[in-house]
Amino acid sequence: MAETTDQYLESLNPEQRRAVEHGIAPDGTIGSPLLVIAGAGSGKTNTLAHRVAHLIIKGADPRRMLLMTFSRRAASEMTQRVERIARRVLGDKAGIMTDALTWAGTFHGIGARLLREYAEAICFDPAFTIHDREDSADLLNLVRHELGFSKTETRFPTKGTCLAIYSRCVNAQAPLEAVLGQHYPWCSGWADELKQLFAGYVEAKQKQNVLDYDDLLLWWAQMVSDPGIAQEIGGRFDHVMVDEYQDTNRLQATILLALKPDGRGLTVVGDDAQSIYSFRAATVRNILDFPDHFSPRAEIVTLDRNYRSTHPVLAAANGVIGLARERFTKNLWTERCSAQLPRLVTVRDEADQARYIVEQVLSNREQGSRLKEQAVLFRTSSHSGPLEVELTRRNIPFVKFGGLKFLDAAHVKDVLALLKFVENPRDRVAGFRVLHLLPGIGPASAQRILDQTTGMADPISALAALPMPPRAGQDWTAFVETLGNISYSEWPADIERIRLWYTPHLERIHEDAEMRLADLLQLEQIASGYPSRERFLTELTLDPPDATSDRSGPPLRDEDYLILSTIHSAKGQEWKSVYALNVVDGCMPSDLGAGTTAELEEERRLLYVAMTRAKDDLHLIVPQRFFVHGQAARGDRHVYASRTRFIPDHLVKLFDRQTWPAANPAARSTPNQTVQIDIRERMRGMWR
């Protein structure tokens, strides 16, 4: 039976309830801005979902709500939660109302939609395609060659570095010189050339009608710098809500302020202690400065009761974050008691680390805990290698999040490139990739073909009219025919046509064609869930599916499997048991992140994020030696490691310290190190 009063709010604590009910007046006037500082596991997601549901129940129009989350998955989970809450009052009408929440998505995704809608007002062609990071680096590289910078005597920064510099300037809205000085001092001597390169890059993008990731925010920010457009877009939404605000950058803050200059109807939620995306120029200042942008100041609600973790787990996490240099949120508290301290486990090396985890995971499963309730977290995707081998050997299914993405695979990129090329035939990066697939067409002829066609009014017809390249033969005819068919076919039939065209090339290029073909079928499956080619390409480029089931084969949805995830991808999630790999200096903090104080602080927050994912059971594992990653495939360089500096001696008492396996001298004697034979000497002796 439907609830009549606000019973659905009764499960909330007083602070959560204050955040949910803030500024909702019976006469429908829109309330003042709200900042919710929500500690880990304090019910941030739950609170935001209740707020949206409460707004809908009290009569707000879901079509006039803009809800921005960190990933598309988070947006759809949020919408489902809203529906579940609203259903208690609205019954079946709840589904209709939440289906009308069409403006829920990521900042970049929403930006892309608005730019298409307002393209005319900003003199832009709405049929633009979006370059992912790799496409952007390729285009930048092309411009770098054209300007002759790749042939400089001293080494010009690589395409990846150039893109990172460009991206930071754009997102942090900082001048090139400042970015070079602060983050890339070794590139400071190239400031003039980099400026030329970036100017050329911007020109190339415009000519080809492509935008990169950063452009989606940059163009959006530029668009709303026009007060008329800002008012028009801002006026479409009564409520603008942003989750994970600690991981937004300056451009995103600029956009929000332009949409809602007086802050009415604006809600942002976040936790400064979990800010882990500064490499994307996210700044924790956004959340700290938010209240003072408005007059009167934004209302602040702090959620500091943690519902997720037991007291000992939380005490250890509080201990780690308590040593942070700058802190704004208070310590979290919980009522969940337990006698089990988190474990700090010393193992000999990464192989033992993997064995320890398997032993624990299986013993938990024996005791009734599903694999899915357990997660192994790591700083960098490559750290899980030895564990993946052990899991595969022991037949334990797992799914890995973070690291290599499905869409990074060459064959998936090939198919998407053709789709992108049909969508926007001026996109030279896509065109180049596709032409390069044809036998007999090398880089020079691909460039020549694009030169002859991309400037034409109808590049695809122009391409079809070109004389057949001498060495391409029948492959050329099939290609041109396919292009023609796709540009007129109905979505999602296009993608099947492309697969049929691509299959012989796949078989020619890759030995393991059969496996790769399975990925393409999966891509087709994903595509059928999107209403149009444009939406499919946009959404997929902006927020690619990130699970790879690696060697274990793709598990079915309702099967049980262990979760492996980078800490970054574990954001917002929780598990009964959590195992953190390589809690040693060099991994946490990572060697790469141990430069500046700010970087080091972010590494500390990463460990905090990992620890606060655990509900009952937390294992931090410290291998005494580990292999240095990034060396040649079978390199065997290893280093001796020490416990992370983020857990100094005085915090160790918060943990149950263990050594695994328990010392057993008979079973595991260390090799006798006294010299018995000197083989090197023998070898030399052979030639004397």
Ligand X SMILES: Nc1ncnc2c1ncn2[C@@H]1O[C@H](COP(=O)(O)OP(=O)(O)OP(=O)(O)O)[C@@H](O)[C@H]1O
Annotated binding site for ATP: 38-45
Does the protein bind ligand X through residue 605 (CB under 6 A)? no
Which one, 43 or 469, has the nearer CB to ligand X? 43
Of 612, 619, 627, 660, the one binding ligand X by CB under 6 A:
612
Q: Tell me which stretch binds ligand X (CB under 6 A): 11-19, 102-110, 354-362, 452-460.
A: 11-19
Of 43, 62, 109, 431, the one binding ligand X by CB under 6 A:
43
Which one, 141 or 310, has the nearer CB to ligand X? 310
Nearest 5 degrees, angle CA 589-CA 591-CA 593? 60
* 590: β partners: 586, 587
Does the protein bind ligand X through residue 17 (CB under 6 A)? no
Q: Return the residue matching tokens 């969508």.
A: 423
Does the protein bind ligand X through residue 41 (CB under 6 A)? yes
Residues of this chain, 566-585, that bind ligand X according to CB under 6 A: 572, 574
Does the protein bind ligand X through residue 271 (CB under 6 A)? yes
Residue 247 CB, shortest distance to ligand X, in Å, is 11
Residue 302 CB, shortest distance to ligand X, in Å, is 12
Helix (H) or strand (E) holding 72: helix 72-90
Does the protein bind ligand X through residue 329 (CB under 6 A)? no
Residue 615 CB, shortest distance to ligand X, in Å, is 8
Q: How far apart are CA 230 and CA 65, in angstroms?
A: 16
Does the protein bind ligand X through residue 12 (CB under 6 A)? yes
Q: Tell me which stretch binds ligand X (CB under 6 A): 7-15, 74-82, 417-425, 466-474.
A: 7-15
Residue 280 CB, shortest distance to ligand X, in Å, is 18
* 131: β partners: 212
Does the protein bind ligand X through residue 353 (CB under 6 A)? no
Q: Tell me which stretch binds ligand X (CB under 6 A): 41-49, 247-255, 578-586, 656-664.
A: 41-49
Does the protein bind ligand X through residue 208 (CB under 6 A)? no
Does the protein bind ligand X through residue 13 (CB under 6 A)? yes
Of 19, 23, 46, 536, the one binding ligand X by CB under 6 A:
46
Q: How many angstroms separate the Cα of 533 from the Cα of each of 127, 418, 537?
A: 11, 12, 6
Of 20, 34, 37, 38, the one binding ligand X by CB under 6 A:
38
Which one, 39 or 265, has the nearer CB to ligand X? 39
Which one, 61 or 77, has the nearer CB to ligand X? 77
Which one, 38 or 130, has the nearer CB to ligand X? 38
Does the protein bind ligand X through residue 7 (CB under 6 A)? no
CA 345 to the chain's CA centroid: 29
Which one, 40 or 361, has the nearer CB to ligand X? 40
Does the protein bind ligand X through residue 129 (CB under 6 A)? no
Local structure of 563: helix, strand or coil: strand
Helix (H) or strand (E) holding 565: strand 562-566
Does the protein bind ligand X through residue 108 (CB under 6 A)? no
Structure tokens at 283: 């700044």
Q: How far apart are CA 677 and CA 666, in angstroms?
A: 24
Can you list the alpha helix ranges (DSSP code H) found in 528-624?
Answer: 533-542, 597-611
- Helices 107-117 and 213-223, axial angle in degrees (round to 10): 60
Q: How far apart are CA 154 and CA 438, in angstroms?
A: 36
Which one, 164 or 317, has the nearer CB to ligand X? 317
Is residue 70 within 8 A of residue 78, CB to CB? The reply is: no
Of 42, 329, 374, 424, the one binding ligand X by CB under 6 A:
42
| CB-nearest residue to ligand X | 43
Which one, 43 or 319, has the nearer CB to ligand X? 43
Does the protein bind ligand X through residue 45 (CB under 6 A)? yes
Structure tokens at 343: 């474990």
* DSSP one-letter string for 210-260: EEEHHHHHHHHHHHTTSHHHHHHHHTT-SEEEESSGGG-BHHHHHHHHHH-
Q: How far apart are CA 214 and CA 227, in angstroms?
A: 22
Which one, 274 or 364, has the nearer CB to ligand X? 274
Of 307, 406, 491, 530, the one binding ligand X by CB under 6 A:
307
Q: How far apart are CA 396 and CA 435, in angstroms?
A: 42
Rg (CA), the chain: 28
Q: How many angstroms separate the Cα of 206 from the Cα of each of 156, 192, 317, 584, 611?
A: 25, 22, 48, 46, 45
Number of residues that bind ligand X (CB under 6 A): 18
Question: In residues, how long is the chain?
Answer: 688
Does the protein bind ligand X through residue 332 (CB under 6 A)? no
* 564: β partners: 376, 400
Nearest 5 degrees, angle CA 30-CA 79-CA 381? 120
Q: Tell me which stretch binds ligand X (CB under 6 A): 42-50, 401-409, 592-600, 633-641.
A: 42-50
Q: How far apart are CA 215 and CA 538, in angstroms?
A: 13
Is residue 331 within 8 A of residue 318, CB to CB? The reply is: yes
Q: Which residues contact 519 (CB under 8 A, 6 or more apart)?
A: 406, 409, 411, 412
Does the protein bind ligand X through residue 309 (CB under 6 A)? no
Does the protein bind ligand X through residue 340 (CB under 6 A)? no
Which one, 215 or 243, has the nearer CB to ligand X? 243
Does the protein bind ligand X through residue 44 (CB under 6 A)? yes
Does the protein bind ligand X through residue 270 (CB under 6 A)? no
Does the protein bind ligand X through residue 16 (CB under 6 A)? yes
Binding-site residues, in ranges, read 38-45
HEC assignment per residue over 640-686 = ECCECCCCCHHHHHHCEEEECCCCCCCCCCCCCCCCCCCHHHHHHHC
Question: Which spans of this chain sit near ligand X (rule: CB under 6 A)?
Answer: 11-13, 16, 38, 40-46, 271, 307-308, 572, 574, 612
